[in-house]
Amino acid sequence: MFRLEVIDFIDQSGSAVVARVPSGGTAAIQMGAQLIVQQNQEAIFFRDGRAMDVFGPGRHTLTTANIPILTSILTIPWQKSPFQACVYFVGKQRFVDQRWGTRHPITMKDPDFGMVRLRGFGKFSFRVVDSSLLINELVGTQGMVSTTQVTDYLRDVMVSGLSDLLASSNIGLLQMSSKFDEIGAAGRVKIGEEFKKFGLELTDLVISNISAPDEVQKAIDARSSMSAVGDLRSYTLYQAANGLGKAGDGSAGSMAAVGMGASVGMMLPSMLQQALQNPAAQPVAPTASAAPTAAATAPTGDSIATVKQMIQSVAKQSAWQVTEGDFEWKIGISMGPLRRQVVHVDFSSVDEAGHRIVSIWATCGQFDTNHALALLRYNAQIVHGAFAVQTVDGANVLVIRGNLLADTADLLEITRTITAVAWQSNQAEQQFASN
């Protein structure tokens, strides 16, 4: 039987939160054995799944006086009866420079950019205030027997608490860097309560950085390039003005920008004027004061092939992502830093007279019969399409759909319809999701 005569633990690194002696489990501890506890340590006898006795710094001779459990196990014929147990040495120093970081992005609602996904990292410090509670909670309950296991668990507690704090803070991304101290102080209080459950004190919490995805960073860079950086209304009008300003070169990309501005302008004709007259108004969609005066020539020959060529040209200039099929194309259109809408273009339809129809549609969500009457009323306000119900993968789905005659469709009409369907379906989808 392996017996311990001298029990001690020397922490060469100075970073050990907890260490078990013996490391492999329990051993026979001889009555009269010497227990040596260093200045920055406490030693805890652990037996039958719970902490039994706590020893402070110094040299201790194990007798029935300081280990009451020995009394109950002394048996004849032994005068010195061993008992199976282990000793946990707990570091009492302050553990600094403990790093934390988000393994997965934190989703939060930003007042400027909507739903964004953030990552963060920093440092924290802690110390042990109740060794018995630490051993009972993390060792006896969680089965953690090493410093690595304990600190990894504490990092998870830290990230979980900060994720909840950031998601409920209502602090905008643009203001967050100036609020690191306030967030850190609030996090120290919130997460400190969780640490207390394990006999620990969270002494410091430092937030080094909270970063947004590249898409949001680009949007921030675009806003900083304006002479007047205000709310998103300024950014939106800035983008719309850029699109209208390029209309004179006659390129497909310019026509796409004009198409977006014109289609949204016809849907919301008064918003631009209200935005300019009332700076305190809410952010609005980009608009245009008037539609372009010239349109592309109607296609000749194979009308479907010509329509496809025009869509390819606009998509290339507008950075749309097109997935081509035999009878249907899917167009991925960015609707902002973190949103992307898929517009379907169906080339297989014909009307009653046999004319080829180009059907352009995008989904808004699951169809709810309770909303049918309201949707019919909304149709009176929609330009370039209407709400409709369509079967997608065996389910009834609400879509916004616009139909064009392939023989008469031109570049501007195609661009207007695609961009309007994408924008309107995106707005409807967000509205339904929030209800």
How far is the C-alpha of 291 from the C-alpha of 266, rounded, in Å? 9
- Tokens 């001690």 sit at which residue? 8
How far is the C-alpha of 314 from the C-alpha of 300, rounded, in Å? 18
How far is the C-alpha of 210 from the C-alpha of 167, rounded, in Å? 13
The separation between the first and the last C-alpha atoms of the chain, rounded to the nearest angstrom, is 70
User: What is the full DSSP assignment across 237-249?
Assistant: HHHHHHHHHTGGG
Alpha carbon 247 to its chain's center: 38
The domain locations on the chain are 3-91, 95-212, 224-434
Residues 6+ apart with CB under 8 A from 75: 81
Pure H helices in 80-213: 131-134, 147-167, 173-176, 180-196
Residues 6+ apart with CB under 8 A from 335: 341, 422, 423, 426
Are the C-beta atoms of 9 and 3 separated by less than 8 Å? no
The CA distances from residue 74 to 65, 81, 128, in Å, are 13, 6, 34
pLDDT, one tens digit per residue, over 23-82 is 777 777 777 778 899 988 999 887 766 677 889 999 988 764 555 555 444 443 444 445
Predicted local confidence at residue 435, as pLDDT: 62
How far is the C-alpha of 84 from the C-alpha of 45, rounded, in Å? 10
How far is the C-alpha of 302 from the C-alpha of 345, rounded, in Å? 17
Per-position pLDDT tens, the chain of length 435: 445 578 889 888 878 888 888 877 777 777 777 889 998 899 988 776 667 788 999 998 876 455 555 544 444 344 444 567 788 899 999 988 888 888 888 888 877 777 788 888 899 999 999 988 888 888 765 656 677 888 888 888 988 888 888 878 778 887 888 888 888 888 899 999 999 999 999 999 988 888 877 777 776 666 665 443 444 444 444 454 444 444 444 444 444 444 444 444 444 334 334 433 444 444 444 333 333 333 334 334 478 999 999 999 888 888 889 999 988 999 998 877 667 889 999 999 888 888 899 999 998 887 877 777 777 777 777 767 888 888 888 788 888 899 999 988 888 888 888 988 888 888 888 777 666
Q: Average per-residue pLDDT in the chain?
A: 74
CB atoms within 10 A of CB 55: 22
How far is the C-alpha of 364 from the C-alpha of 424, rounded, in Å? 9
The CA distances from residue 175 to 105, 130, 170, 183, in Å, are 19, 38, 10, 11
The topology under which CATH files domain 95-212 is: Tetrahydropterin Synthase; Chain A (3.30.479)
> pTM here?
0.48
Q: At what angle do helices 252-267 and 232-245 cross, to 10 degrees?
A: 130
Alpha carbon 97 to its chain's center: 26
How far is the C-alpha of 240 from the C-alpha of 376, rounded, in Å? 30
Tokens of 416: 């207007």
The topology under which CATH files domain 224-434 is: Yope Regulator; Chain: A, (3.30.1460)
Residues 6+ apart with CB under 8 A from 24: none
How far is the C-alpha of 399 from the C-alpha of 416, rounded, in Å? 17
Residues 6+ apart with CB under 8 A from 322: 311, 312, 315, 329, 330, 331, 332
Tokens of 293: 């005066």
Three-state secondary structure call for residue 39: coil
Report DSSP state, residue 295: -
CB atoms within 10 A of CB 296: 16
